Amino acid sequence: MELAPDGSAPTDTAGLSAWAEIDLDAIADNVAALREHAGGTPVMAVVKGDAYGHGLAHSARAALARGASWLGVAQVAEALDLRAAGVTAPLLSWIHVPGTDLAPAVQADIDLSAGQPWALASMADAARATGRTVRVHLKVDTGLGRGGALGDGWTELLAAAAPLRAEGAIDIVGIWSHLAWADAPDHPTVRAQRERFVEAIAEAERAGIRPQVRHLANSAATLTDPQARFDLVRPGLAVYGLSPVPDLGAPQRFGLREAMRLLARFSSVKDAPAGQGVSYGHEYTTPAATRLGLVPIGYADGIPRAALNAGPVAVRGTRARIAGRVCMDQFVVDLGAAGLDAEPGEELVLFGRGADDEPTAQDWAEACGTINYEIVTRIGPRVPRVLVGTAGREDADG
């Protein structure tokens, strides 16, 4: 992300060729809506992956401003970045590898996840090095087949935890798991995973472990499955106003609004004759005399190459599409084919709010054969995040 001289994110677009507008109030309002969907169950806002491309620290503060009581990240480095930014809320990090120095995380009051005995041993080493007890969330694999203790491994994990708890090296404050098919709430795996989660909690309780929080629900389950709430819900994508269940409804159906709008300015507009090949490989040819607009953002910035002849944009409120291949730093729009014209420096919208009839991240996902998560998360650091709204802003009144 490009930063202002004082280290903050920019707040205007002067001189920018492309930028991602981040609505902090939308993030805050989405968290409030998610908490309402969850019947008041506390919310852990997941801000991994630079807050799904929205910007880590300011997105975390915005989420906390309207009711998130926890934050979640994948990697320890992300958690330490939040602490360095002054964020003090309860914070869980769940991915590390053998050999990771966990002492800085323990010193920074970061909760850590363990799904195998080696992870508990690493945490105990950090506890001894710092003289502090590590707050641990044990992860059970209830059927995703990814992280966490699977099958008899759960019994082994509980056994490995016992002496470390007795030593005072660890305190088990959470038990958690992750759903494989929450975006299809009627899929039989959802019920099977809930049942396995309950069984795993019961086994832990028989071993004398009664955690403060049990959490299973991601964004999709938060919106569609009351039985998955337990003590804490863990939404990610929906915090940023995108629907995790697009087959069931757009963001508006769930009281959400998109927090990111991706905009750019035309760097060139020129006349082209009929039959002109456009961009590498000439995979688009102008069907008639037209005007071609050049947009200075490309796959180095996260625009998918798969948007060939398909990525939607809006110019003066009218939809157009990418013409030809997306290049590293730019792509072309056939303005005439959409009955449009434009001038160099004029703005266009790549994606934004569906309620405003703008192309959306979901539209881009469908055009590129991917998911809306990837569209927003892949927007790279050359694209400045321009902040609007006041939620969580350190310089905001009140």
Q: Annotated catalytic residue: which of 48, 52, 139, 299?
A: 48
Given phi > 0 = left and psi -120 to 50 = alpha, else beta, which region is 345? Answer: left
Q: In what order do the strands lie in the sheet with 213-215?
A: 43-46, 68-75, 91-95, 111-114, 134-139, 170-176, 213-215
Decide: helix, strand or coil at residue 349.
Answer: strand
Q: What is the largest CA-CA distance in the chain?
A: 79
Cβ-based neighbour number of residue 284 at 10 Å: 20
48 catalytically annotated: yes
Decide: helix, strand or coil at residue 135.
Answer: strand
Strands 260-265, 18-23: pairing kind = antiparallel
Strands 385-388, 268-272: pairing kind = unpaired
Cβ-based neighbour number of residue 164 at 10 Å: 22
Strands 43-46, 68-75: pairing kind = parallel
Core vs surface per residue 180-215: b (16+ CB within 10 A) or e: bbbbebeeebbeebbebbeebbeebeeeebebebbb
CA 97/CA 115 separation, integer angstroms? 11
List 215's β-bridge partners, or say none.
Answer: 176, 232
CB 320 within 8 A of CB 314: yes
* DSSP-assigned letters across all residues of 58-114: HHHHHHHHTTEEEEEEEEHHHHHHHHHTT--S-EEEEE--TT---HHHHHTT-EEEE
Angle between helices 24-37 and 56-65 (to 10 degrees): 50
Q: Annotated catalytic residue: which of 52, 139, 280, 299?
A: 280
270 catalytically annotated: no
CA 267/CA 258 separation, integer angstroms? 27
Strands 277-278, 284-285: pairing kind = antiparallel
CA geometry: angle at 349 spanning 273 and 14, to 5°?
100
CA 113/CA 359 separation, integer angstroms? 38
The residues annotated with a catalytic role in the active site are: 48, 280
